[in-house]
Amino acid sequence: MKNLLSAERMARLKWQLLDLVYVLISIILALVVGGIFLLILGSNPIEAYHIMFQKAFVSFGAILRRMTIYLLSGLAVAIPVKSGMFNMGGEGQIAAGAMTAAMLGSALALPAGIHPVVCMLGAILVGALLSSISALMKLKFGSSEVVTGIMLNYVVMYILQYLSMYPFRGSPNSPQTAEILETAKIPRLAEGSQASYGLFIALGCCLLFAFIMNRTRFGLELKSAGFNRLAASYQGVRVGVMSVLSMAIGGGLAAMAGAVEVMGGRYLYLDAYFTNYGFDGIAVAYMARNNPLGVIVTAFFLSTLKVGAVALDRQAGVSVYFAIALQGIIIALLVSPYLVESVFNRIRQKRLAKRKEPAIKTAST
Amino acid sequence: MPETMISMKDVTIRFGSLTANDKVSLEVKEGEIMSLLGENGAGKSTLMKILYGLYTRESGEIVIDGNVMPKRYAPADAIKLGVSMVPQHFMLIDSFTVAENIVLGEEQQISHLMMSKEKACAKVDSLCEQFGIPLSPKQIVGELPMGTKQKVEILKALYRGTKVLILDEPTTVLTPQEVDELFVLLRSLQRKGITIIIITHKLNEVLDISDRVTVMRLGKNMEVLETSHTNAQELSRIMVGKEVSNVYVEQGEDEAKQQNAVFRLVNLHTKREGERCNLQGINLDLFPGKVVGVAGIDGNGQTDLVEVLTGTKALSKGEIRTGDQCILANTVEEMRTLGIGIIPEDRTQQGLVLDLTVRDNILLGYKSDTRFEKHGIINLQSANKYIGDLIQKYDIRPARGNAVCRFISGGNQQKVVLARELERTGLKAVVASQPVRGLDVGAIQFTHSTLLKLRSEGMAILLISSDLDEIKTMSDYIAIIRNGRIVAFKKASDFSKDEIGLYMGGAKSEEVTA
C-alpha cells in the first residue's frame, strides 16, 4: 500500500513537472519570436536579452518587490477561476486596498506590531466587498462578472482619484496621500533593498492556498463548483455561496497586493501608480494554469521581464513596450489551446509510431 | 440476386490508441433491411459514420452503389449517392414546421430564389402520400411526439432522394406502440426499394425487423447471419462473447412487507421551469426489499422526481414521509441524513465532476464525515484507505484513487457513483435513474446485480428507466409516470408490456392516490 501511494505521488509529480516543462518551452519559444521582432527592429537580440536579464538581476530587489505584488494579484485571479469565476476587477481592488492601507496607516495611531495587521485587514475587507459586488450581481441578476468587474474598476479608480486629490491629499504637488506612519511600515529585507518582508506574506499566501485547494473540504467544494455546478449541487455543495466566497477571497488577495506595496514599498497612495498590476495578475495566473504554487514561478518570471525591460529601454534603446509585447507573445503561446503540449504529444506519437510499425497514421478527431 | 448496395471491406479506424473498427466488413444488398448489432462501444456507430463520410478511415475499401469511394469524402458526397442517416438525437429545428424542416438546406428543389411555403407543403404532402407516412406539413415540430419527429427525419431523408437509410438506435426514444409503427413504416419503405441499415443493441428488434444481421464486438465484426436462421440466444452469445443470464426478480413473495413503506411520497408538486415537465402530484410508496420501477417516456417528470429526492429541487407542495418524520423542505443534506442514495441519470453531468479524481468525487459526497475530515481539513490517510477499499469492492479500473474521472470508461464512472452512493452509513433507499444507460453489457450486469443485492438486504429501491425491458426484469412493482403524475401502479406481474405502453403514451390512464 505504501509503495502504491508513493508510486501515485511520483506519477502526479511527473505530470506537474511536465506542466512546468510546457511552460518553460512556451517561454523559450516566446523569447525566440521576440528575438525575431528585435531583429526586425534593428537590434541584436542576444545582446538585448543579455542586457535585459543582466540589468534585471542587478536590481534583484526591484524584481522581488514587483514579484510580491504579482504573487498576490496572480492568486487573486487563480482562486476565483477554480470556482468558475473570473476576477476582472483586480485593478480596482488593488488600488482600493492600497488606498485603505494608506489611509489607515497614516490616520491611526497603533503599536508597530499591530498597525500593519490592522491596515492589511482593512484592505482585505474593502477588496473582498468590492469583488463580492460582481459575484452577487452575477448570482442575483446573471450579469457577467467580467463586465461588472471591468466597470467597477473605473468606478473605483475615479473615486480614489477624487480621494487622493481632495480630502486625503498629503502633498501640494501631486495627487497623493500623506506618508504612512513608521508603525505601519513593513520592514525592508535589507538596508536599502527595494523588497520588504511582504514577500514572505505573499509566498505564505501561495502555500496556504495550495494547501486549501488540495487538502481541505472547502477547496474540494470550490473546485467541484467550478468544474461542474450541477454535479456539485447534487452533492450538496452550495454553488452560489462558493462562487461569492471565491470572489471575495480573490478581492481580498488583490487588495493585499496593494496594501503590501503601500506598507512595504511606496509608503503612500499615489494616483495612477497602481495601474496594470491587476491585469498582469491575470497573465501570472494564466501562465501558472491557476496553480497557486505555479504562481510563484510565473510571478518571478514576469517581474524579471518587466524590470529587465525598463533597463533595456535605458541601455539598448528598445522600448518598454517590447516587454509588454513579449509578455503578450508568451501568453498567446501558453493559452492557444495547449499549443506546445499538442506539438509535444505529436512528436512523441510519431516517435512511437515509427518504433512500432512503419507509418500508421493516427486519426485525429 | 439483388445488387450489392453498400460494400465496406476491411475498414479500419483508430482514435489514439483505441482501434474503433478493426478490419470491419459490411455488405448490404439493395432493398434489404440489415441490422448492425453490438454492445455500446462495439464500433457500430463509428462504422456508419465512416460510411456517411463523417470520419475518415485509415484503410479499407468502400463502394456505395457501384461507386468506389475515395479515402476522404464528405457527408455531402454520401448524400449525393443516396445515403442518409437518421441520428439518434434528432437534428430538427423545433420552432419550424414539418415542411420547413424537411426542405431546409435543399430549398432549390422547390424554388431557386424565394422559399414558397405553399410549394414546400405541397411537396411534403405528395411525399407523405407516396410513402404512406401520415404527417401534416404545417405542424410545428416542437409540438410533435418523439415517434412523429422520427418520421420527419425519415421523410427528410426521402426528400433528398435517399436509397440507403441508416437509423442509429431508432427505438430508444419510442413507446412500444411507436416502435411497432416505425417497423411497419420501415417495411413499406423496403417494398419501395429502399435499403435500410439499423444500428441497435436490442436483440428482439433485430429478430423482428431485419433480413440479415451483422454482429460486431469490440471493433471487429463477428458474424453475418440470416435473421430467419438464428435466435436471441445465439445472437447474444455472439454479441457478448458469453451466455448472458438474465437477472430476473422473483416476484410475488412475502406480500406482508408492503404494508410498512419506508418512504411515502405524498402529493409531490414542483414549480415548472422552462420546458421541463414538473411534478403535478406524485404519490408513491417505497418498500424495504422491493424495487419500484417507474416507467415513462423521457421528459414526463422523471428528472424533477430525482431532483426532489436528491434535494436540489424544492417541493412547492406535498411531503415526504418516513417513520414519524415529515419533510416539507427538502435539502440535499436533509435527504442525505434520511438515508437516500442517488444514482442520477446523467453520470457525466449530475453524477460526477469529471475533472476531479475518483477520490475527490467520492469524498465530495461525504460532507462533514468525521472519518475523513477534521475542521475541514481532509485526512488523506484514512480517505485513501477507505477509497482503496471501495475501489477494490467495486472493481473500479484503473485501481487508482487519483485517476481523473474524465479518463476512465463509462462503466467505471458508474461504479464510482455506485461506490459513493451505496456505501453511505444509514442507507435506507436508493433512487436509480437510468442506471445502465450507455453502459456495456458487463457494466449493466454489475449495476443490476448490485441493485438486486441491495434489494435482498432490505433496501428500498426506486428504479426510474425509459427502458421497458429493464423495468420489467428488475421491478417488483411498476409505476407509470406521465405529465408529472403517476398514472398507474401495480405489481409488475400484473402488467403486460402493451398495457405499460398504453399508459406511457397516455392512451390509458387511472389516477393513483397514495
Residue B331 has pLDDT above 60, yes or no: yes
B369 touches chain A (CB under 8 A): no
- Using pLDDT thresholds of 50, 70 and 90, give the confidence band for residue B455: very high
Residue A211 has pLDDT above 60, yes or no: yes
What pLDDT is stored for residue B42 in this prediction? 80
Higher pLDDT, B450 or B109: B450
Residue B117 has pLDDT above 50, yes or no: yes
* One domain, residues B367 and B227: no
* One domain, residues B207 and B235: yes
Point out the domain boundary residue: B401, B425, B449: B425
A109 touches chain B (CB under 8 A): no
Least confident segment among A178-182, B183-187, B365-369: B365-369
Whether A90 contacts A283, CB under 8 Å: no
Q: How many domains does chain B fold into?
A: 4
Contacts of B378 in chain A (CB under 8 A): 215-217, 220
Contacts of A216 in chain B (CB under 8 A): 373, 376-378
* One domain, residues B144 and B26: no
Point out the domain boundary residue: B197, B218, B246: B246
Find the CATH number of the domain harbouring B202.
3.40.50.300
Contacts of B353 in chain A (CB under 8 A): 223-224, 227-228, 231-232
- Using pLDDT thresholds of 50, 70 and 90, give the confidence band for residue B511: low
| pLDDT one-digit tens code per residue, A5-20 | 555 566 666 666 777 7
A218 touches chain B (CB under 8 A): yes
CB contact (8 A) between residue A231 and residue B380: no
What range defines the domain where residue B112 resides?
A: 94-159
The DSSP result for A214-280, as a single string, is HHBHHHHHHHHHHH-HHHHHHTT--HHHHHHHHHHHHHHHHHHHHHHHIIIIISS-BTTTT-SHHHH
What pLDDT is stored for residue A82 in this prediction? 95
What is chain B's mean pLDDT, rounded? 86
Higher pLDDT, A179 or B513: A179
What pLDDT is stored for residue A243 in this prediction? 95
Mean pLDDT for A220-227 is 95
Whether B166 contacts B84, CB under 8 Å: yes
Name the phi and psi angles at B253, rounded to 5.
-95, 150
What pLDDT is stored for residue B509 in this prediction? 66
Higher pLDDT, A315 or B338: B338
What pLDDT is stored for residue B284 in this prediction? 93
CA of A72 to nearest chain B CA: how many angstroms apart?
Answer: 23
What 3-state class would DSSP assign to A198? helix
CB contact (8 A) between residue B349 and residue A228: yes
How many other β-carbons are positioned within 10 Å of the β-carbon of residue B16? 12
Contacts of B210 (CB under 8 A, 6+ apart): B33, B34, B35, B198, B227
A83 touches chain B (CB under 8 A): no
Contacts of B334 (CB under 8 A, 6+ apart): B311, B327
Residue A149 has pLDDT above 70, yes or no: yes
Mean pLDDT for B38-50 is 83
CB contact (8 A) between residue B373 and residue A1: no
Domain annotation covers residue B415: yes
* One domain, residues B297 and B389: no
Domain annotation covers residue B453: no
* One domain, residues B295 and B266: yes
B344 → closest Cβ in A232, A234, A237: A234
Nearest to B479 by CA among B256, B265, B311: B265
Higher pLDDT, A353 or A228: A228
CB contact (8 A) between residue B378 and residue A217: yes
What is chain A's mean pLDDT, rounded? 87
- Sign of dihedral through CA atoms B288, B289, B292, B298? positive
What pLDDT is stored for residue B19 in this prediction? 79
B310 → closest Cβ in A218, A234, A362: A234
What pLDDT is stored for residue A151 in this prediction? 96
Least confident segment among A69-83, B137-151, B370-384: B137-151
What pLDDT is stored for residue B352 in this prediction? 95
What pLDDT is stored for residue A235 in this prediction? 93
The 3-state secondary structure of B427-466 reads: CCEEEEECCCCCCCHHHHHHHHHHHHHHHHCCCEEEEEEC
Whether B178 contacts B195, CB under 8 Å: no
Q: Which of B364, B385, B413 to mutate to test the interface with A (most CBs of A within 10 A)?
A: B364
Residue B255 has pLDDT above 90, yes or no: no
B510 touches chain A (CB under 8 A): no
| pLDDT one-digit tens code per residue, B220-234 | 888 898 988 888 878
Residue A251 has pLDDT above 70, yes or no: yes
What pLDDT is stored for residue A15 in this prediction? 65
Of chain B, the percentage scoring pLDDT greater than 90 comes to 42
Domain annotation covers residue B59: yes
- Using pLDDT thresholds of 50, 70 and 90, give the confidence band for residue B323: confident
What pLDDT is stored for residue B429 in this prediction? 95
| Cα maximum dimension of chain B | 78
From chain A residues 220-239, the ones with a CB under 8 A of any chain B CB are 220-221, 223-224, 227-228, 230-237
What pLDDT is stored for residue A365 in this prediction? 36
- Using pLDDT thresholds of 50, 70 and 90, give the confidence band for residue B512: low
* One domain, residues B149 and B169: no
Mean pLDDT for A280-295 is 90
Higher pLDDT, A155 or B261: A155
Residue B1 has pLDDT above 70, yes or no: no
Which helix (DSSP H) or strand (DSSP E) does residue B349 occupy?
none
* One domain, residues B270 and B223: no
What pLDDT is stored for residue B246 in this prediction? 46
What 3-state class would DSSP assign to B96? coil
* One domain, residues B368 and B225: no
Domain annotation covers residue B63: yes
CB contact (8 A) between residue B365 and residue A235: yes
* One domain, residues B68 and B185: yes
B426 touches chain A (CB under 8 A): no
Q: How far is CA B387 from CA A157, B154, B375, B381, B398, in A?
A: 51, 49, 20, 10, 13
What pLDDT is stored for residue B127 in this prediction? 87
Domain annotation covers residue B256: no
CA of A81 to nearest chain B CA: how many angstroms apart?
Answer: 14
B353 touches chain A (CB under 8 A): yes
CA closest to B56 among chain A residues: A363
CA of B72 to nearest chain A CA: how many angstroms apart?
Answer: 12
Contacts of A220 in chain B (CB under 8 A): 356, 360, 363-364, 378
B363 touches chain A (CB under 8 A): yes
Residue B257 has pLDDT above 70, yes or no: no
Q: Which of B17, B45, B340, B353 to mutate to test the interface with A (most CBs of A within 10 A)?
A: B353
- Using pLDDT thresholds of 50, 70 and 90, give the confidence band for residue B439: confident
Higher pLDDT, B495 or A88: A88
Q: Which domains does chain A have, with CATH numbers?
A: 63-311 (1.10.3470)
* One domain, residues B173 and B212: yes
A212 touches chain B (CB under 8 A): no
Mean pLDDT for B99-118 is 77
Mean pLDDT for B461-478 is 89
* One domain, residues B103 and B77: no
* One domain, residues B74 and B186: yes
Contacts of B379 (CB under 8 A, 6+ apart): B371, B372, B373
Mean pLDDT for A69-81 is 97
- Most confident residue range from A142-146, B142-146, B345-349: A142-146
Point out the domain boundary residue: B143, B159, B175: B159
Mean pLDDT for B193-200 is 92
Domain annotation covers residue B313: yes
What pLDDT is stored for residue A301 in this prediction? 86
| pLDDT one-digit tens code per residue, A319-334 | 778 777 877 777 777 6
Residue A358 has pLDDT above 60, yes or no: no
Domain annotation covers residue B235: yes
CB contact (8 A) between residue B332 and residue A12: no
Mean pLDDT for B41-47 is 83
Mean pLDDT for B339-343 is 94
What pLDDT is stored for residue B502 in this prediction? 82
- Using pLDDT thresholds of 50, 70 and 90, give the confidence band for residue B423: very high
Mean pLDDT for B189-216 is 89
CB contact (8 A) between residue A235 and residue B367: yes
Q: How far is CA A105 from CA A98, A99, B6, in A?
A: 10, 10, 82
What pLDDT is stored for residue A224 in this prediction? 96
What pLDDT is stored for residue B442 in this prediction? 77
Which helix (DSSP H) or strand (DSSP E) does residue B116 occupy?
none
Strand partners, B220: B217
